[in-house]
Structure 1
Amino acid sequence: MHRLSGFARTRSFRELMRRCSVITISALLLGCLQSSQAPSLAQSPLPLHVPGALIPEEPITPMPAPPAIDPRKVRLGERLFNDARLSGDNSRSCSSCHDIGTNGASSKRHDIGLDGAELPFNTLTVFNSVLNFRFGWEGKYRNVEADVTASLVNPRIMGSSLADIAERLDRDAGMRAGFIAAYGRRPDPGNIVDAIASFERTLLTPDSRFDRWLAGDRAALSDEELNGYKLFKSLGCVSCHQGVNVGGNLFQRHGIFHPLASPDPAILRVPSLRNVATTAPYFHDGSAPTLDDAVRKMGFAQLNATLTDQQVQALVAYLHSLTGQYRGAPVGGGS
């Protein structure tokens, strides 16, 4: 077989690379030409509607229905969630900061710890939290059981111990009977955490108007909300806020182009935008009082985009469509 000299091989390789470069540049130019001829954002057509079918190729998927869990464990977990005996000084329950009757969190910029000082982070909603890939702003906990345990033993949050909680609950005949019915044994650290986690797993909020649109109901969203969703995708918001929870599945640095909020910690778990219209104030430090303010600041800090009033209005309208249902009513009483 004929062997090329080193010089010939080099020349042939360079010629091949030159041809590849020409092909690549031509493809890029063609792509730019096609993009320039594409319809504008306001004119781009929506997918054709097929009744009862999911709208295809969307980066967000509908919220599922709550899972089937032993109702005795769920009822017990809800009782515990609202029981102040879980705190070391009997002064607060889980629902003191995570109000299921409103938004699953609170309206405060920072809730107050047992020591009377503000907690370091704005309280995240417990609704749909089990769909996040990590728990808490810093993503320290990998599952709901670890998150529940950490809150119960944190000296600034609940300030208790699982052994002490079990002892207090065991002295209550009605509570003891509830544990025996659900678990076949008296309260202990394991079944206390499991009961609360079982309840939290049912705190899903399906059937938002956006979920209905994803499921094929084209009348579920207004034109402005649909334009907001298009902007949400075209501006790049969806790069971090996608999937079933519209976020909650990756870590991200905040303040990429411009400062956003308190600089520390620099990297946070991306929050879910489910029910976001009900969970003001916003950001890990609670520094954005309204959704309008949060959208403007996020666009500037994360995308280097100065949004127009019309864009902000459309984006906020879309975000309102993410409010789901809990026990037959909209979360927070919203639309």
Structure 2
Amino acid sequence: MKRIFLPLAALCAAALMAMPSEMQATADQGKKPLEQVPSMEKFQEVSDIVLDKCMACHSRNYDLPFYAKIPGIRQIIEQDYRDGLRAMDLNQELVGAAKDRPVGEVAVAKMEWVVLNNTMPPAKFTVVHWGSRLTDKDRETILHWVKTTRAAYYATGPAAEKRADEPLQPLPSHLAVDVKKAALGEKLFNDKRLSADGTLACSGCHLYEKAGTDNSRFSEGIRKQFGDINAPTVFNAVFNVRQFWDGRAADLQEQAGGPPLNPIEMGCSGWEEIIARLSADEALTAEAGTIYADGWTAQNITDAIAEYEKTLITPNSRFDKWLSGDDAAITAEEAEGYRLFKQYRCASCHVGRSVGGQSFEYMDLKADYFAERGNPLNSDKGLMGFTGNQDDLHRFKVPNLRNVELTHPYMHDGTVTTLDESVAVMGRYLSGIPVSDGDRRLIVAFLRTLTGEFQGKPLTGTPVER
């Protein structure tokens, strides 16, 4: 097979040009100053390995090998390339990131998993391509890079030194917010005047007593209308790379502007309608005027709601306490469940502070979830519904798993009603590794340790059955 030895700078440029504009916008969020990004010299040490032994199957810039012309072989090879790109597009996730931002947390975790488990390059590739295996030095170099990158950009601080390199990190106890904006935002979040008929507030689908969800497959909007996608929890949404299952909102503020104007959800014809109703409330209008010089605007309303939503975080779970050094915070079985959570590749995508929300992955990566489920939904398009890119079909934002025992039902379509089933589904369709009954039991036990506190009290909700 022809290997790719393009200069790194050229690959970076190609990657950024090929990256869809909306995903580039995602990349630009939270961008760190250039001087804080890992040095090119340090990244070059890893990129040489990647270019030599990984890029051929995880890049759109490849040449088919000479034997691809053999009847029957071409189809197999093309499928291998397609699978490789769907699992991880290194141009987008690794090479492009080296230009002016840190490599994404999910890319770091994926690199770590394949090295620790010695799954890449795959055996059928190395049989034909001698010398393509990772050497001990390669593995050592990549794992050191993973550790230093995670420490520089993704360690949250509260983790104990012995657990600082875990792919999951403790939630912070609080985030800095503008207190006055957040107070106004809380009132607006609970204000039914943001709906056309005055019957539904934002909190109507994101109930505090149900861990920021409504525990329904699909939420009910005004006039008893229903959409076709499960409402994710609002708790810890501030940590998501983008908002909504299809990523169509760049941040909390853009997300807050969606439901009020959605005809199925809150059904307003425009912001003028909402502003007229709010303006009739003299006290609330006066409060808004002390914060925003121009008073009620769509920009100011969504800004206040977004500021409030930054306060909806749930630290101090038992697992957070374990990460922070309290060995007794979780049981031996729960600790084993966490080990299995990592072993089965769950922690390759469910990473970081919120245990997810950092990437978009294919729901049918290893098997055809949609064909086997049947009953197609418009929401099944996933990211493609936002980008229009056929390559994004069936890609969804990975949900955060904080408080997951309380946020049922699961998946974008709300068809999974137990944690046990959700682990089985992920094993079959995402990891491609069947999870035994015993291992599922332990992983579920671990997942239940992720339930945290809100405003110093245990988060409320009904724990899902096994």
TM-score normalised by the shorter chain: which range applies?
Answer: 0.7 to 0.9
CA contact (8 A) 1:323 1:334 kept: no
Alignment of 1:49-60 (within 5 A): 53=161, 55-60=163-168
Please give the alpha-carbon distance, in whole angstroms, between the structure 2 residues aligned to 1:54 and 1:203.
29
Question: What residue number does 1:114 align with?
Answer: 222
Compared with structure 1, are the counterparts of its residues 223 and 164 closer, same or farther at alpha carbon in structure 2 (3 Å cutoff)? same
- Deviation string, structure 1 residues 28-58 (Cα, Å, up to 9, x no partner): 8xx9xxxxxxxxxxxxxxxxxxx96461310
Question: What residue number does 1:3 align with?
Answer: none
Displacement over 6 Å in runs of 4+: 21-26
CA contact (8 A) 2:200 2:221 kept: no
- Range moving further from structure 2, 297-306 or 266-275: 297-306
Once the two structures are TM-superposed, the CA of residue 185 in structure 1 deviates from its matched residue by 4.9
Once the two structures are TM-superposed, the CA of residue 332 in structure 1 deviates from its matched residue by 2.5
Secondary structure at the counterpart of residue 332 of structure 1: coil
- Deviation string, structure 1 residues 179-228 (Cα, Å, up to 9, x no partner): 12333453222221111111001111111111111111111111011001
Please give the alpha-carbon distance, in whole angstroms, between the structure 1 residues aligned to 2:295 and 2:241.
32
Identify which of 380, 396, 417 aligns with 1:268.
Answer: 396
Which has the larger Rg? 1
Identify which of 321, 338, 346 aligns with 1:229.
Answer: 338
Question: What residue number does 1:140 align with?
Answer: 248
Q: Percent same amino acid at aligned positions?
A: 38
Compared with structure 1, are the counterparts of its residues 84 and 24 closer, same or farther at alpha carbon in structure 2 (3 Å cutoff)? closer
Compared with structure 1, are the counterparts of its residues 193 and 26 closer, same or farther at alpha carbon in structure 2 (3 Å cutoff)? closer
Question: What residue number does 1:301 align with?
Answer: 429
Equivalent position amino acid for 1:98 in 2: H
- Range moving further from structure 2, 62-71 or 320-329: 62-71
Please give the alpha-carbon distance, in whole angstroms, between the structure 1 residues aligned to 2:274 and 2:132.
66
Identify which of 195, 198, 219 aligns with 1:87.
Answer: 195
Please give the alpha-carbon distance, in whole angstroms, between the structure 2 residues aligned to 1:208 and 1:173.
41
Question: What residue number does 2:321 align with?
Answer: 212
Residues 1:201 and 2:310 aligned together = yes
- Deviation string, structure 1 residues 152-185 (Cα, Å, up to 9, x no partner): 2111111222222122111111211221233345
Secondary structure at the counterpart of residue 297 of structure 1: helix
Secondary structure at the counterpart of residue 234 of structure 2: coil
CA contact (8 A) 1:66 1:203 kept: no
Question: What residue number does 1:159 align with?
Answer: 267
Please give the alpha-carbon distance, in whole angstroms, between the structure 2 residues aligned to 1:312 and 1:25.
32
Compared with structure 1, are the counterparts of its residues 214 and 110 closer, same or farther at alpha carbon in structure 2 (3 Å cutoff)? same
Question: What residue number does 1:9 align with?
Answer: none
Once the two structures are TM-superposed, the CA of residue 247 in structure 1 deviates from its matched residue by 1.0
Higher relative contact order (CA 8 A, sep 6+): 1
Once the two structures are TM-superposed, the CA of residue 126 in structure 1 deviates from its matched residue by 0.4
Question: What residue number does 1:40 align with?
Answer: none
Cα RMSD of the aligned pairs, angstroms, is: 2.3
Question: What residue number does 1:322 align with?
Answer: 450
TM-score with structure 1 setting the length:
0.82
CA contact (8 A) 2:209 2:461 kept: no
Compared with structure 1, are the counterparts of its residues 27 and 81 closer, same or farther at alpha carbon in structure 2 (3 Å cutoff)? closer
Runs (5+) with no aligned partner, structure 2: 1-128, 140-158, 382-393
Equivalent position amino acid for 1:192 in 2: I
Equivalent position amino acid for 2:169 in 1: T
CA contact (8 A) 1:74 1:199 kept: yes
Residues 1:238 and 2:347 aligned together = yes
Runs (5+) with no aligned partner, structure 1: 1-20, 32-50
Once the two structures are TM-superposed, the CA of residue 117 in structure 1 deviates from its matched residue by 3.3
Identify which of 103, 108, 122 aligns with 2:211.
Answer: 103
Question: What residue number does 2:176 align with?
Answer: 68
Question: What residue number does 2:237 align with?
Answer: 129
CA contact (8 A) 1:97 1:106 kept: yes
Compared with structure 1, are the counterparts of its residues 224 and 260 closer, same or farther at alpha carbon in structure 2 (3 Å cutoff)? farther
Once the two structures are TM-superposed, the CA of residue 308 in structure 1 deviates from its matched residue by 1.9
Secondary structure at the counterpart of residue 226 of structure 2: coil
Question: What residue number does 1:189 align with?
Answer: 298
Secondary structure at the counterpart of residue 252 of structure 1: strand
Secondary structure at the counterpart of residue 268 of structure 1: strand
CA contact (8 A) 2:216 2:409 kept: yes
- Range moving further from structure 2, 135-144 or 174-183: 174-183
Secondary structure at the counterpart of residue 101 of structure 1: helix
Please give the alpha-carbon distance, in whole angstroms, between the structure 2 residues aligned to 1:159 and 1:209.
40
Residues 1:331 and 2:459 aligned together = yes
Question: What residue number does 2:185 align with?
Answer: 77
Secondary structure at the counterpart of residue 59 of structure 1: coil
Please give the alpha-carbon distance, in whole angstroms, between the structure 1 residues aligned to 2:321 and 2:229.
33
Equivalent position amino acid for 1:308 in 2: S
Please give the alpha-carbon distance, in whole angstroms, between the structure 2 residues aligned to 1:259 and 1:58.
31
